[in-house]
């Protein structure tokens, strides 16, 4: 049930925590994606952010007390029924305990007990409270009941320490809810392997050869594949990104480790999307100690080619689908077409990494899809949109191959 014919409703529950101000950003992120957001606050939450702020942002009444709305004498039931999803962010130890133990003594706890909508909980609290046995038991109880927990991060806390318990970043919280609400079954029954990020090839204990890949494209593909209903294995080189919820993460460092992990994961996969920027070369000898400067120069480092992961998967693919990436700075289509022919994969996604809207670390990408049928130029898209386009094309091919076999 939603607030309009085409608009779905998220009930945002805000509890008494210093991180309550971040709920405003979460709210705006959900609104930007077309969702109606209603806000339910505890009395203590109003000490941190005033209800007027949320009224101004939502143009809706803000629910606080059980008997605040004389027009709705059973307010907790109407709120529970109206929501397509319920998000508690920030969630204190107190509301988590109430949820876990079925306590219903205010408007928020009664609404949470009454709803049958998907519930998401983003904890935020002092590290001691988070690690307490009671809190951990309550979180586990909620997890077993099907509540989606958005784990807190580590950072500077209000108590002055740096530890776990910091509310997860608003964009991650919002995206977790959006992914669940917008989930499809397009790739249901398929297992998608994604490689992502750079590799680090060690020179000595402190130096390595790498590239500028942020991993954003590969992680977007993994997240979107999960949203489309696939089982997903993400083999990732070193990045600062957090693995999407519901995705199996295999962390690696070197090209050799990525090759081994990808080959292993490919045994059970139906589709492989090789988005990682794997180093082409690795040092033959890795120094056991930090190399020192010698007269302003470093002696030559002997390099050897790394194993070609895309070619290795393609040679084993049989009726499975393998898609590679070609990050180019010149002769884009010619180089991508040559890569498609030499690697033996089903398709290549080519992108010009010299462009400002398509380079490493950007949130958008300009790409071309190349396969045996020709070349399709795609418009500049957000990486999530491009991920969907790639997976739709790969999934369509995989389904056809299943039909033929």
- How crowded is residue 70: how many other Cβ atoms within 10 Å of its Cβ? 7
pLDDT at residue number 246: 85
Q: Please state which CATH number belongs to domain 9-181.
A: 3.40.50.1950
pLDDT at residue number 2: 39
pTM of the model: 0.81
Cα–chain center distance at 348:
23
pLDDT at residue number 176: 92
Catalytic: 159? yes
pLDDT at residue number 67: 75
Report how far apart, in Å, the C-alpha atoms of 349 and of each of 273, 302, 318 are: 10, 31, 20
| Separate counts of helices (H) and strands (E) for the chain | 13, 21
pLDDT at residue number 6: 67
Per-residue pLDDT of 9-41, as tens digits, reads 999 999 999 999 999 999 999 999 999 999 999
pLDDT at residue number 147: 96
Phi-psi region of 361 (alpha: psi -120 to 50; beta: other; left: phi over 0): left
| CATH architecture designation of domain 191-404 | 3-Layer(aba) Sandwich (3.40)
pLDDT at residue number 300: 82
Peptide bond into 90 cis (omega under 30): yes
Q: Where along the chain do its domains lie?
A: 9-181, 191-404
Torsion of CA 146, 152, 157, 161, to 10 degrees: 110
What spatial distance separates the first Cα and last Cα of the chain, rounded to whole Å? 42
DSSP secondary structure letters along 358-402:
TSTT-SEE-EEEEETTEEEE---EEHHHHHHHHHHHHHHHHHHHH
Q: Which residues of the chain have pLDDT under 70?
A: 1-6, 70, 72-73, 295-297, 401-405
Q: What gap in Å lies between CA 190 and CA 395, rounded to an integer?
A: 8
Q: Of 13, 159, 274, 345, which is the active-site residue? A: 159
């Amino acid at each position: 049930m939603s607030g309009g014919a085409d608009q779905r409703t998220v009930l945002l529950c805000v509890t008494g925590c210093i991180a309550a101000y971040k709920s405003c950003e979460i709210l705006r992120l959900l609104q930007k994606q077309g969702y109606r957001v209603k806000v339910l606050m505890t009395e203590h939450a109003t000490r941190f952010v005033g209800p007027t702020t949320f009224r101004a942002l939502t143009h809706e009444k803000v629910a606080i007390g059980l008997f605040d709305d004389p027009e709705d004498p059973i307010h907790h039931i109407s709120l529970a029924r109206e929501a397509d999803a319920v998000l508690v962010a920030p969630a204190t130890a107190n509301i988590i305990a109430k949820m876990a133990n079925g306590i219903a003594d205010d408007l928020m706890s009664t609404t949470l007990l009454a709803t049958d909508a998907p519930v998401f909980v983003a904890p935020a609290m002092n590290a001691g409270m988070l690690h307490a046995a009671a809190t951990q038991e309550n979180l586990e109880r909620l997890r077993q009941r099907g509540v989606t927990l958005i784990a807190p991060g580590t950072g500077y806390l209000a108590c002055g320490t740096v530890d776990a318990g910091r509310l997860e970043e608003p964009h991650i919280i919002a995206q977790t809810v959006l992914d669940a609400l917008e989930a499809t079954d397009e790739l249901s029954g398929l297992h998608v392997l994604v490689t992502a990020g750079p590799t680090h090839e060690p020179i000595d204990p402190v130096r390595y050869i790498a590239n500028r890949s942020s991993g954003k494209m590969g992680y977007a593909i993994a997240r979107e594949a999960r949203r489309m209903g696939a089982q997903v294995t993400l083999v990732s080189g070193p990045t600062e990104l957090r693995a999407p919820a519901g995705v199996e993460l295999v962390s690696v460092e070197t090209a050799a480790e990525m090759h081994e992990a990808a080959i292993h994961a490919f045994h059970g996969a139906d589709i492989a999307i090789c988005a990682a920027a794997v180093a082409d070369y690795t040092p033959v000898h890795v120094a056991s100690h930090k190399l020192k400067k010698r007269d302003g120069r470093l002696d030559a480092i002997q390099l050897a080619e790394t194993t070609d992961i895309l070619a290795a998967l393609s040679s084993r693919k049989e009726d499975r689908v393998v898609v590679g990436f070609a990050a180019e700075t010149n002769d884009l289509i010619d180089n991508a077409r040559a890569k498609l022919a030499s690697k033996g994969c089903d398709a290549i996604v080519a992108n010009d990494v010299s462009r400002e809207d398509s380079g490493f670390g950007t949130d958008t990408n300009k790409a071309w899809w190349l396969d045996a049928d020709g070349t399709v130029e795609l418009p500049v898209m957000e990486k999530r949109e491009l991920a969907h386009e790639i997976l739709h094309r790969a999934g369509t091919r995989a389904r056809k191959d299943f039909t033929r076999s």
